[in-house]
Structure formats: structure tokens, C-alpha cells
With several copies, the nearest count.
Chain A
Amino acid sequence: MSVTILFLGPLRDLAGETERQVEAPLDWNGLLKAVGPEVAEQLDQERVNLACKGKVLADKRSLYAEDGDEVALLPPVSGG
């Protein structure tokens, strides 16, 4: 009975792991607590997006992930 949080790109280094399982259901405040203060600070910035069930959320603060859902933390894509 869990939600998978995926840390992508540079957030993977900041989180120190690729993914983490947390208890379902998971909302925005639950996510902030689950990822720790450093990642939470990044996540709070506009340039970091959130996907749930393979869809980018228009309003990431409306997150509501249920059992079996995958929540992906998407930092801005790289230039170059």
C-alpha cells in the first residue's frame, strides 16, 4: 500500500537516492515532508515540476497520489 517517489536528474543527487516508497495516499504537504528539507526547498520553486501517473500536473500543489501511483520530481531540463 504505497506511492513511489522518483527523483530525476540533479534531484537524484540531492535526495541521495533514485526512488523512495511512502505510504498512500500522498498529497503536497505529505510529499514535502517525505522528501526532506533540501529537496522540499527545490520542489517549492516554480521551475520544478511534478508528474503523477505519467502526467505533469498543471498545479503541483493539487497532488493526490493513491496506492500504486508513481510521483516523479522533474527539475528543469538541461541546456546545451
Chain B
Amino acid sequence: MPKTVTKWRCCPRSAVARLSISTPLDVRLLDKGLSVGEALAAFNAAHEQAGGVVSFLGKVRPDGGVKALELTHYEPLTQPGMESLAQDALARFELDGALVWHRVGVMTPGEAIVLVAAASRHRRNAFEAADFLMDHLKSAAWFWKREKRADGWHWIEPRDADHADLARWK
């Protein structure tokens, strides 16, 4: 796995949050549930100097009788892809830091799939960075999804809307 150039340092654990957050980037693939409140509290504590923090949380939607969602990935590409994307966002939007967490494996409706957060001096940069991270995450990270419905598992096809989302940043 290629090493990124950023210097990673470990933050003191916050009094509120039991989580330790790496700065400036904290990129994780998680095979079980994540505690969103704790993660964001720890991220905020790790970036006390940032004027603005934007977060996005994506959850499994209980649409069309979906009982479960499975996310598979190719680990040798996924982790470096996510780290490289986070690096890009850090430089492009002059961030103080970013958090990029993604679930893999089987999830049920209401569970968190993805959490991104961007901390920046300027509000607009934090918004754009979180948006950018979400638009690029799927193509950077090689995730394949399938849904379990009453009649079994179904793979989810690529969407044209994803290409349109990416084109916004070209």
C-alpha cells in the first residue's frame, strides 16, 4: 500500500470523545457500525482552530423493500484510493483536516454507510470539500453494492448521475 506524504500525528483524546482522530487526515474502512456523534465530536476537538466544519452522513435508505445492503470492495485499491482522494481535497480546498470513513460488508436500513467531514478556516471551502469528497468517493474507492429484497440479492448498476456529479469538478 503506497504511503501518503502527509505527516500524521495522533491527537490527545478529548474529554467528550473516546475516539482518537488522526490529523490532518483520518481515513478508515470499517467492517462494523460507526458512532457518528462520537466521531464528529472527536473530529471537532481535533480541529479546534478551524472556523467551519461540514459533515455528510449517508445512511442505508429503507426504500423499495430493501432488507439489507452489502458493500464489497478491493482492499488494495480502496484504502489508497480513499487516502489519495482525502489528500487531494486537503490541498485543493486548503483544509485544516478531513475525515473519510466508509463501511463495508452487510448493513441494514438506517445504518450509516459513509461519514465525511471537512474542517477549514472558511465555510465555503469546508462545504465544497465535503461535496467533492462525496462525489469522488465511489470512483476513488471501488465499491460494489448489492441489495437484499424479498426476492433475493440484486447488484446495483452504475448511475449516469454519478458521472454528472464528477463532471462538476473538472
Contact = CB atoms under 8 A, between A and B. Distances in A.
Direct contact of A and B (CB under 8 A): yes
Nearest to B76: A54
Interface residues of B, number: 21
Interface in B60-75: 72, 74
B77 A79 contact: no
Contacts of B143: 77-78
A79 B161 contact: yes
Contact of B155 (A13, A56, A74): A13
Chain B facing A: main interface SS: mixed
A80 B159 CA distance: 7
A37 interface: no
Given A9-B72, A54-B77, A77 B142 contact: yes
A78 B72 CA distance: 10
Interface string A39-80: 000000001000100101000000000000010101111111
Interface string B43-85: 0000000000000000000000000000010101100100000
Given A75-B144, A80-B145, A8 B155 contact: no
A54 B158 CA distance: 22
A30 interface: no
A26 interface: no
Which of B144, B156, B162: most chain A Cβ within 10 A?
B144
Interface of B: 1, 72, 74, 76-77, 80, 138-139, 141-146, 155-159, 161-162
Given A8-B144, A77-B143, 7 more contacts: A8-B72, A9-B144, A51-B77, A78-B138, A78-B155, A78-B156, A79-B157
